[in-house]
Amino acid sequence: MLKILKQALAGGIATQAYPDVIDPPPDGFRGKPVIEFTRCTACDACAQACPTTAITMRPDGEDGSSRELSLNYGDCIFCGECEAACPDAIHLTKEFQLATTDKGTLTTRALFTRTAGNDYRFAALRAVSPTADTAVTELGKELKRKISTLLGRSLNIREVDAGSCNGCEVEITALNNPVHDIERFGVQFVASPRHADMLLVTGPVTRNMEIALRQTYEATPDPRIVVAVGACAIGGGIFGSSYASCGGVDAVIPVDVFIPGCPPRPEALLHGMLIAIDRFPGNH
């Protein structure tokens, strides 16, 4: 026992100071892909390489004089195939805080027009997805107070695996380790939806889990918040919609917050939860 105590004292504090301090991801981390539209020629190579059709290229107008390129971060699995296909115009960043309450804002769209030489040149941005919430640090500082004020106790979360590969579950489990220590925010996981305030749902919703997910949602008392975790939960991921899959969670139950990633790292999950807390009634 003394040996363990000595090791703990020598090791110091292991818990990250997130969100007050955001530690940079390690080398090799694949985060948000960014397209440099001024260097893009709308050649369609990135769209052809994308395994989840997160990047699409379509004609804009009947005469073929323009094209629209779109990048949906909700469907993106950060595989890097787009960067490999077009390294001059696309690069992966280390940005991972992409959670949002509006699924539509996860898509960036750009217009390209045809030149006299039949090439395509960037013309204008039509939609830009948001970057990391600059207010997340202040929100984190107020998280305990908000939970106590709104609920009078801890925030209880029920995690639901609707058909995932368990990659997201590994990251969710990491929230309880000493490095991330989610309980310091007054947040804990519970076994029953009847005790939950928030549902964390992972994976594309398989047909076998559709009824179970609906029943879990109905068993969760109001006010309830639903968070879709990962590309599969947002839009079906590489599985999409089929005879075996309903696709994203919002095809089955209402979703309040979407957390992109494949899987999202623990800090990205925390970021999404911080945003979700702000969605509770009476928090404004």
Assign residue 223 the CATH number of its domain: 3.40.50.12280
Residue 116 structure tokens:
């006299």
For residue 41, what are the domain limits? 33-96+103-127
Dist. CA 249–CA 21, nearest whole Å? 32
pLDDT: which is higher, 133 or 10: 10
In a domain, 66, yes or no: yes
* Res 102 pLDDT > 80: yes
Same domain, 92 and 143: no
Sign of the torsion formed by the C-alpha atoms of 260, 244, 196 and 225: positive
- Ranges of H-type helices in 86-142: 136-141
At 90, which CATH number? 3.30.70.3270
Predicted local confidence at residue 200, as pLDDT: 96
Same domain, 142 and 73: no
In the chain, how many domains are there? 2
Range of weakest confidence among 4-18, 64-78, 164-178, 256-270: 4-18
In a domain, 54, yes or no: yes
Q: What is the DSSP letter of 18?
A: T
Categorize the per-residue pLDDT at 17 as very low, low, confident or very high, splitting at 50, 70 and 90.
Answer: confident
Predicted local confidence at residue 220, as pLDDT: 96
Residue 205 structure tokens:
């919703």
Same domain, 172 and 251: yes
Predicted local confidence at residue 2, as pLDDT: 77
Same domain, 186 and 268: yes
Neighbours of 259 (CB within 10 A): 30
In a domain, 24, yes or no: no
Q: Dump pLDDT digits (tens) for 132-172.
A: 554 455 555 566 666 666 666 678 999 999 999 999 999 99
Structure pTM?
A: 0.88
In a domain, 250, yes or no: yes
In a domain, 142, yes or no: yes
Same domain, 113 and 177: no
Helix, strand, coil percent content, the chain, rounded in steps of 5? 30, 20, 45
Q: Which residues contact 197 (CB under 8 A, 6 or more apart)?
A: 151, 155, 156, 157, 220, 221, 223, 224, 225, 280
